[in-house]
Amino acid sequence: MDIVYIRELQVETVIGIYDWEREVRQTVSLDLEMGTDIRAAAATEDIDSTLNYKTVAKRLIAFIGQSEFLLVETMAEEIAQIVQEEFNVPWLRLRLSKPGAVRGARDVGVIIERGERG
């Protein structure tokens, strides 16, 4: 299995459990690794034969930007579901973080893996 990835995609959204967090937009950052097979695209140099990271990124930017979540855990699960269902990705690893959420830490968040690694 090959991996197509997106690193440090930053999107502003409403995220958090505190009242003040519900009133402001905060930046979340994600790293996404998606299992796929790139051989057909490599052989043909045809973008339609691969998992297009730009298309995935645009979809996630739109989704996250218009969504509101209390927990990063919920957001991570919904992102994973979109990627697997809409882009036919059998396996993914997602790191979703809230930079600056805890004093003294660069960021906090979750890392999830979903699906079967082929």
> CB of 69 within 8 A of CB of 13?
yes
Of 76, 96, 98, 109, the active-site residue reads: 98
Closest CA to 32 of 86, 112, 101: 112
> CB of 30 within 8 A of CB of 6?
yes
pLDDT score at 112: 98
Give the percent of the chain with pLDDT over 70: 100
Q: Where are the beta strands (DSSP E) in the chain?
A: 2-15, 26-36, 68-69, 91-99, 107-115
Whether this model's pTM surpasses 0.85? yes
Instruction: Say whether 98 is catalytic.
Output: yes
pLDDT score at 118: 74
With b meaning 16 or more CB within 10 Å and e meaning fewer, what string describes 67-88?
A: eebeebeebbbebbebbbeebe
- Mean pLDDT, residues 10-37 taken together: 97
Tell me the per-residue pLDDT of 59-104, one tens digit each, with 9 for 90 and over: 999 999 999 999 999 999 999 999 999 999 999 999 999 998 889 9
Structural domains of the chain sorted by starting position, each given as residue range(s) with its CATH number in brackets: 2-115 (3.30.1130.10)
